[in-house]
Amino acid sequence: MTPEPGPIRAVAFDLDGTLLDTLPDIAAAADAMLVAQGRAPVGAAVVRGFIGEGIATLVKRLLTGEIDGEPDPAVLEPALAQFFEGYFAHLSVHTRPFAGMSALVERLAERSVPLACVTNKAERFTRPLLAAHGLLDRFDVVVGGDTLGVRKPHPRVLQHTAAALGVAPEALLMVGDSVTDVRAARAAGTPVVVVPWGYTGGEPAEALGADAVLVSAEELQTWIAARLLASDRISSSLVR
């Protein structure tokens, strides 16, 4: 049984499926790539189950229809280029923050809680997306899937994030939506909670093995406030 998480000093948020509902624009780029490859579009429901381990893995899954599929490199290379071009051109047409999440990030930042965005999406997509929704300047650290040469669930991702924020790994909370986030946190020794509105790969949020499943931004805010190693003024102001 996983021990109850202790006090925290900093928070890391996943991007896709946690902060932002990026699925509509990802699915549009995915279907455009498939059509350019002479294949049938698959739609958002299929794409949703393939998100979580970076664009290269997403494109491999789209081309093969398998979670661990490995397409012919001669097919993969142009497909990746087509996806990158299409997605970057329409990065935030329909993407929106999930309810209450922007306000939660703002509230934490205003109270000087160290914050990171930790995602498997490449930084060249992550930073413009955060900027488009007024969030980039709220994060002290942004770690993309191409920042370190490894990506979640590798433990170095969250270990690096904790060090960059000036806290021990056990004092960094990971907030995510998928088993990748949970595995990264367990490997790095950080507490982890998940939200149920994201892209879980078809698994219910309760089955991901997180310390808690928090069903709204308000519930997440209360959970974080109760565990912040901060002054009474900061922690109490978070729950008002």
Could you tell me if 206 and 107 lie in one domain?
A: yes
CATH number of the CATH domain containing 231 = 3.40.50.1000
The alpha carbon torsion through 94, 25, 204, 49 (nearest 10 deg) reads 160
Could you tell me if 164 and 233 lie in one domain?
A: yes
pLDDT band with cut points at 50, 70 and 90 for residue 232: very low
Q: Given a cut of 80, is residue 109 above it in pLDDT? A: yes
Q: What pLDDT does residue 201 have?
A: 72
pLDDT band with cut points at 50, 70 and 90 for residue 235: low
Could you tell me if 118 and 198 lie in one domain?
A: yes
Q: Given a cut of 70, is residue 239 above it in pLDDT? A: no
Which tokens belong to 121? 């999406």
The alpha carbon torsion through 34, 36, 38, 40 (nearest 10 deg) reads 40
- Structural domain contains residue 211: yes
- Structural domain contains residue 1: no
User: Helices 23-36 and 73-89: crossing angle, nearest 10°?
Assistant: 130
Could you tell me if 84 and 107 lie in one domain?
A: no
Could you tell me if 207 and 194 lie in one domain?
A: yes
User: Helices 55-64 and 23-36: crossing angle, nearest 10°?
Assistant: 50
- Structural domain contains residue 5: no
161/117 Cα distance (integer angstroms):
9
Could you tell me if 14 and 31 lie in one domain?
A: no
Mean pLDDT of all residues in 205-218:
96
Could you tell me if 141 and 70 lie in one domain?
A: no
SS3 string of 94-149? CCEECCCHHHHHHHHHHCCCCEEEECCCCHHHHHHHHHHCCCHHHCCEEECCCCCC
- Structural domain contains residue 127: yes
- Structural domain contains residue 157: yes
One-letter amino acid for residue 127 of the chain: R
Mean pLDDT of all residues in 181-197:
97
Q: Given a cut of 80, is residue 94 above it in pLDDT? A: yes
Q: DSSP character for 170?
A: G
Q: What pLDDT does residue 5 have?
A: 77
The range of the structural domain enclosing residue 209 comes to 10-21+95-238
pLDDT digits (tens, 9 = 90+) for 19-71: 999 999 999 999 999 999 999 999 999 999 898 788 899 999 999 999 999 99
Catalytic residues: 14
One-letter amino acid for residue 192 of the chain: V
Which tokens belong to 147? 């920042």
Mean pLDDT estimate for the chain = 93
One-letter amino acid for residue 107 of the chain: R
110/138 Cα distance (integer angstroms):
9
Are the CB atoms for 129 and 15 separated by under 8 Å? yes
Q: What pLDDT does residue 203 have?
A: 83
- Structural domain contains residue 147: yes
Q: What pLDDT does residue 233 have?
A: 44
Beta bridge partners of 199: none
Q: Please, is 137 exposed, middle or buried when counting C-beta atoms within 10 Å of its C-beta (0-12, 13-18, 19+)?
A: exposed
Which tokens belong to 44? 């958002």
Could you tell me if 154 and 113 lie in one domain?
A: yes
Closest CA to 141 of 155, 162, 111: 162
Q: Which range (106-110, 209-213, 233-237) has the least confidence?
A: 233-237
pLDDT digits (tens, 9 = 90+) for 164-186: 999 999 999 999 999 999 999 99
- Structural domain contains residue 4: no
Could you tell me if 111 and 196 lie in one domain?
A: yes
Could you tell me if 85 and 99 lie in one domain?
A: no
Q: From 45, 63, 89, give the residue that closes a domain.
A: 89
Mean pLDDT of all residues in 115-139:
97
If you compute the radius of gyration of the chain from its CA atoms, what whole number of angstroms results? Answer: 18
- Structural domain contains residue 2: no
Q: Please, is 176 exposed, middle or buried when counting C-beta atoms within 10 Å of its C-beta (0-12, 13-18, 19+)?
A: buried
How many separate domains does the chain show? 2
